Amino acid sequence: MIDINDKVKLIGKLFIEDTFRSLSEWRASYDINEQEQSVLYQYTTLESCANIIISEDIWLFDSRHCNDEQEYKNGLNFVKSSLMESNIFKKFDFPIEDDLCRHEYDIDTFNTVSREIENRFHNFNSDWLCYVACFSRPISNYTRYRTHLTDDLLDNDNLVMWRGYGNEAKGGCLGFNHLSMEHQTRDNPNCLLVEVLYDVEDKSFFIKCLFRTIYELFCNNSGLNYGIQRSDNLLELRIEKLVGNYDVNDLFLGLAYALHLVPSFFKHAGFEAEREFRLIHSPEVIGRIDSRVSYLGSGKDARPYIPLSSVINNLDLPIINLTLGSQVSDKDFHDSLFKSGAWGNCNANDIALQHSLIPYRS
């Protein structure tokens, strides 16, 4: 059993946020258009829509029990292979001098630090788990899928998602205010709201940046063992401001913790059309039975989940709209939303109701 305290979690979270900023800058240098998304969508059954509206809560599922059971394993294998020092330099082509690094590059020092991270990573690998809630971004948010045809559709008329998660367009899609979700998770060390990465180049760049962070924070330019650089490193200043006192071991554990979160938002490129965002929660203590965990289903098909309200105190779930799939009849809506008491409930007063505009064919 390994205690990962809030200090370590916050350091790991800052590592990831800093790396996503670097990724955005790198994409911008290649003229890859990124727009801010104001809404995050969740496609599901009408019954689930009703339950979410009534309870004002959503469930986060164990990442090892996703629809694709190989999903988390594939991401974990990507990270593990990256930790093999013989692969790091070959795979990510680290330069001897990099204009993104202030220091003269020293491979021996880097390898020493990488082994420190790897030891901590594998130390709690077998008991590691994350809980995730999955959302999708607006289709207009991503240039590749933006055509003249999408101008006449809703921003959540993603046929792939209606087929895969919206009960063959017989379900619904709830829209959540992204900024509100981000605000409620920002200062919570147990929550991370991030974009899912599909592209191999994005993943490789992300891991490279994490390893570069190791180098910048732990290596001195004389190559003597490792130590914390007190300089103009903005990430380090943020850590000092938000975390306060910390030591080298906290930073090593923080980076190892960040690497354990990474597989939860690395997915195969074949799923890129889902344009997913994920809300990720990690347990307070790794290896301990969590009393908050319930199970959906039974037997070998049981899926562990945790309510988001048990992770975020005073959760204010920012539902802004409900879109009905194109195959939903008036009777379906009445039976699922009205009979359950979800529609007409005071929780639904500010939720806009709309209908999918995309022609659906199975």
Distance CA 179, CA 229 (A): 34
Burial class (CB in 10 A: 0-12, 13-18, 19+), 135: buried
Between 352 and 205, whose confidence is greater? 352
Predicted TM-score of the model (pTM) = 0.82
**307 falls within a domain:** yes
pLDDT of residue 29: 63
Distance CA 109, CA 105 (A): 9
Q: Which of 225, 221, 227 minimizes the C-alpha distance to 249?
A: 227
**115 falls within a domain:** yes
Q: Which domain holds residue 240?
A: 2-39+57-134+185-323
Between 205 and 192, whose confidence is greater? 192
Distance CA 174, CA 323 (A): 6
pLDDT tens track for 72-109: 777 777 777 776 644 444 444 444 334 434 444 556 66
How many percent of the chain have pLDDT more than 90? 25
**83 falls within a domain:** yes
**329 falls within a domain:** no
**362 falls within a domain:** no
How many percent of the chain have pLDDT more than 70? 72
**247 falls within a domain:** yes
Burial class (CB in 10 A: 0-12, 13-18, 19+), 211: buried
**111 falls within a domain:** yes
Q: Which of 208, 190, 169 minimizes the C-alpha distance to 356?
A: 169
- When divided into structural domains, the chain yields a total of 1
**330 falls within a domain:** no
Which residues neighbour 332 within 8 Å (Cβ) at sequence distance 6 or greater? 46, 170
pLDDT interval class at 351 (50, 70, 90): very high
* Mean pLDDT, range 228-240, rounded to an integer: 62
Cβ–Cβ under 8 Å, residues 22 and 209: yes
